[in-house]
């Protein structure tokens, strides 16, 4: 997954042509950026060994976490 200013949810990494696996067993991934002063400074990237692992609730929770982390940075 490339750096983006938007959340990225890939339910099947093998279907993503530009996906580069760090671990061969990864099957899905979610990436949520953390913004400080409107700038994307880092991203939380979570991999799963299961297809279709991430729900909209997971994405919303990570957005909440990223907002809290941004306040600390």
Residues 16-70 have pLDDT tens digits of: 888 887 889 999 999 999 999 999 999 999 999 999 999 999 999 999 999 999 9
d(CA 4, CA 45): 12
Give this prediction's pTM: 0.87
The alpha helices in the chain, defined as continuous H runs, are 56-72
33, 5 in Cβ contact below 8 A? yes
* Burial label, 47 (beta-carbon count in 10 A; 0-12, 13-18, 19+): middle
Across the beta sheet with 28-36, what order do the strands follow? 8-10, 28-36, 39-48
d(CA 71, CA 69): 5
């Amino acid at each position: 997954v490339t750096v983006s200013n938007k959340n990225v949810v890939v339910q099947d990494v093998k279907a993503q042509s530009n996906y580069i696996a760090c671990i061969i067993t990864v099957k899905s991934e979610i990436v949520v950026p953390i913004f400080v002063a409107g700038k994307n400074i880092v991203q939380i990237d979570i991999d799963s060994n299961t297809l279709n692992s991430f729900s909209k609730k997971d994405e919303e929770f990570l957005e909440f976490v990223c907002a809290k982390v941004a306040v600390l940075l």
